[in-house]
Amino acid sequence: MERRFVKVEKGLGPQGRIAVVRFDRGDGINAFSQQAMRELRDVPRDFEDDLDTSVVILTGSAKAFSAGFDLKDPESRQRDTVSIAERVHRQRLGPKMCRAWQEMEQVTIAAIEGHCIGGGAALVVALDFRFCGRSAHFRIPEVELGMNMSWGSIPRMIALMGPARTKQAVILASDRIGAATALEWGLVEQMVDDGQALASAMAFADRIARQPPIPVRMTKTTVNRFAHALHDLGSHMDAEQNVLTGLTEDYKEGTSAFREKRTPAFKGR
């Protein structure tokens, strides 16, 4: 598949052990269309047989990591006209994308500038480390759109921030989580000057790349096996829940309010 929005650069850093993956739609918004998600889902396959790369850095544009799921994407909007089975199938693309990145054997680092919203946050919590600029912010808007937060992200957020902060971040959907707060909560590991997220991630990757590759991979795999052992219990019905919430009046109200730039009025129906 030809990639329109994602570029992969390998052979960087010590002994060429660092790779950078850039996701940039060129519009300063960087939303996840179906095409963009397929490209990001497939990138980890480039590294399945790659024994030379120890660290992979994922970054967005200079202004935005990602605005999350693209509600204006024509292909995505077809969900309202397809069967339930097709809706569930399409909804599983996002979780597959995040899981593919989580299961990479290489150490993964997100370099975040600007906004990181919804599906963007779901993707970065699937990586091993997160660096962000001081002006970066996170937001989890799904509940305010009448949807559940899915893509397997809630167990990952709990592992990073704990139950209470995860509830706060997800339920209070209109709240921005600034970089300083994200650092305090454990959502990111480092906050750096604006425009320096990628450079700082590269410096950190350089340190990892100088370590012996085999035990580095072993360590990541062991930690992830323990950390994510119970995640399926909390996220195996994500796609079905998303389809169910997509059939509610509140979903129609939430997405309509988003497009019309007004405050939604939910009725619990």
Q: What is the CATH number of the domain that holds 238?
A: 3.90.226.10
Residue 78 is predicted with a pLDDT of 57
Residue 244 is predicted with a pLDDT of 77
User: What CA–CA distance (Å, rounded) separates 152 from 216?
Assistant: 25
In terms of Cβ atoms closer than 10 Å to its own Cβ (0-12, 13-18, 19+), residue 212 is exposed
Within the chain, residue ranges assigned H as helices are: 34-42, 74-77, 84-91, 93-102, 119-124, 153-161, 163-171, 179-185, 197-209, 213-227, 231-235, 238-245, 249-260
269 in any annotated domain:
no
Torsion over CA: 27, 28, 34, 35 (sign)? positive
Q: What is the mean pLDDT of each run of 10 residues along the chain (269 residues)?
A: 91 97 94 94 96 98 92 65 72 90 97 96 97 97 86 92 96 94 97 98 98 96 89 71 80 82 86
Residue 76 is predicted with a pLDDT of 61
268 in any annotated domain:
no
150 in any annotated domain:
yes
88 in any annotated domain:
yes
Q: How many domains does the chain have?
A: 1
Please provide the DSSP assignment of 188-208 as one string.
Answer: -SEEE-TT-HHHHHHHHHHHH
158 in any annotated domain:
yes
225 in any annotated domain:
no
Show the domain range for 237.
6-214+231-260
User: What CA–CA distance (Å, rounded) separates 216 from 208?
Assistant: 8
139 in any annotated domain:
yes
Q: Are 129 and 106 in contact (CB under 8 A)?
A: no
Residue 234 is predicted with a pLDDT of 67
Q: Are 127 and 58 in contact (CB under 8 A)?
A: yes
Instruction: Using DSSP, state whether 135 is helix, strand or coil.
Output: coil
Indicate the residue type of 208.
I
Q: Are 97 and 123 in contact (CB under 8 A)?
A: yes
34: Cβ–Cβ under 8 A, 6 or more apart, which residues?
73, 75, 76, 90, 93
Residue 266 is predicted with a pLDDT of 87
Within 92-152, residue ranges assigned H as helices are: 93-102, 119-124
83-89-90-95 Cα dihedral, nearest 10 degrees = 150
